[in-house]
Amino acid sequence: MRGLVAEKAMRLKRLARFWRRNRDSASRYLHTEAWMERTITAAAIALLAAFAVTAARATAEYDYKKNERRVIDGGLAPNRRSAIRAGRAGDSFGFFLTIEPSHKVAARLSGIAPDDLLDTAPEALHAIWAPDSAHVAVSFRSSRHELT
């Protein structure tokens, strides 16, 4: 225990000695305008690099694989026999009515073009079913401030 205390005391003495020797030059350097300018420039470069590395996206995107379809938010019908899924059929994106639980495609929903969609993630696309599961409405964002 004494050895640790003595070692810490020695480190503190060395630090104090170093600070006494260098405090005048350090304080002169820290208070110059050049230091502030260099610091601000370095911070700006670091910030720009951070923004350049991360992709800034305001949309909810999902990269669907070929023939992958996912159930959208609220997409499972109340009777649990059908679902609305979003995904790819080959290379084109679209909405599909599927038979559950086999996930077989019953129909592709026409009238919603991929160019109309801002978001592609299944949790950003919404379905509202009638209680008898006979009718469904699909809502999505077509622009940043517009819900279709």
Taking 70 as the pLDDT cut, the residues of the chain under it are: 1-2, 23-35, 50-58, 114, 144-148
Instruction: Provide the Cα torsion 103, 105, 111, 112; round to 10°.
Output: 40
The answer to pTM > 0.85 is: no
Q: Of 135, 129, 8, nearest to 78 (Cα)? A: 129
User: pLDDT at position 78, please?
Assistant: 92
**Which positions ≥6 away from 138 have C-beta within 8 Å?**
72, 84, 95, 109, 112, 125, 126, 127
Query: Across the chain, what does the average pLDDT equal?
Result: 78
What whole-number distance in Å separates Cα of residue 100 and Cα of residue 18?
74
6-16 pLDDT, tens digit per residue, is 787 788 788 77
Number of residues assigned to the chain? 148
Half-sphere exposure of 3 (CA within 13 A, CB side): 0
